[in-house]
Amino acid sequence: MSARRKPYPFDRFEPKWQRFWDECRTFHTPNPGEKNFDGSKPKFYVLDMFPYPSGAGLHVGHPEGYTATDIVARYKRMRGCNVLHPMGWDAFGLPAEQYAIKSGQHPASTTRKNIAKFKTQLKRIGFSYDWSREISTADPKFYRWTQWIFLQIYNSWFNPETKKAEPISTFRGDDPDSVRLAYVAEVPVNWCPDLGTVLANEEVIDGKSEVGGFPVVRRPMRQWMLRITAFADRLLHELEALDWPAGIKLLQRNWIGKSEGAEIDFKIDKHEQKIRVFTTRPDTLYGGTFLVLAPEHPL
């Protein structure tokens, strides 16, 4: 008769090694000039999607993805790579705001508490993150750089001749504001009154917000825009050189959404104005019987 196996004393072994990893900075990635830095090692960067610290703790979806990336990070270390595997917190957003509203606490307070809880849980799982590189998007030391990036975009324009962004000071036209990469325009948006913000199409499901399930209405609003479409040709061209799966490249092409076709003006019976339409198949217009205007069309 075989002896009964003793249960694994995880409550004794795991805290011991977790303390060891912290104290010895086992997963720290040294910078050039630091002790143990080896410039001959190939570099490998493993970046997870930073979690929203918008709940009392992790849910099952967090370790599901983080386990896979941690396996890759550990494998590459064993293969002799200098692996950078950081972690951070996406703390400026609707999830964090809604959690604060529901719990009746200030978002700064709930975010700090949730980050501490999330970090403890990630360490207890044993993921090999370099915690010396931890960031929070709600930290002024971090978001000052997002503000700096916005200013670089605002003070730039897309030069169609060089096919790249250049300082606005190089623009020789009369109206530099008309070509800035960041500009204000009145456009139809998905407005959620309960959340008090504009939502992307991906954040709206069946006329309601993905976060909270609040009603969303379509309405015109002045807001900041980025002149991304100016880069469409360049984005499509440079996509070819990327070593990405074909399916991912196709998704990117569809997202960029470039279409080749023609603009055609239709006369309106008993009206001086015309309606301009874009079509990829102008040869089929002879069979057209009607056209539909978007609700936000000026007519």
pLDDT digits (tens, 9 = 90+) for 99-138: 888 888 888 898 999 999 999 999 999 999 999 999 999 9
Pick from 54, 70, 164, 68: nearest CA to 110? 54
Q: Tell me 3's DSSP state.
A: P
Q: Are 55 and 91 in contact (CB under 8 A)?
A: no
pLDDT tens, residue by residue, 259-268: 888 999 988 8
Residues 137-142 have a mean pLDDT of 94
Cα-Cα end-to-end distance for the chain: 88
Q: Which of 25-29, 51-55, 162-166 has the lowest mean pLDDT?
A: 51-55
Encode pLDDT of 184-217 as tens digits. 999 899 999 988 888 989 899 999 999 889 999 9
| Token pair listed for 35 | 């002790």
The Cα 95–Cα 99 span in angstroms is: 6
Q: Are 42 and 80 in contact (CB under 8 A)?
A: yes
pLDDT in tens, 7-35: 888 888 999 999 999 999 999 999 999 98
Looking at residue 2, its pLDDT comes to 60
Q: What number is the average pLDDT over the span 272-292?
A: 87
Q: Nearest CA to 183 among 172, 175, 193? A: 175
pLDDT of residue 3: 67
Region for residue 207 given its phi and psi (left: phi exceeds 0; alpha: psi -120 to 50; beta: otherwise)? left
Mean residue pLDDT across the chain:
91
Is pLDDT above 60 for 1?
Answer: no
pLDDT tens sequence across 64-110 = 999 999 999 999 999 999 999 999 999 987 777 888 888 888 888 98
How much is the pLDDT for 298?
Answer: 79
What residue ranges define each of the domains in the chain, with the CATH number in brackets? 10-135 (3.40.50.620), 144-231 (no CATH)
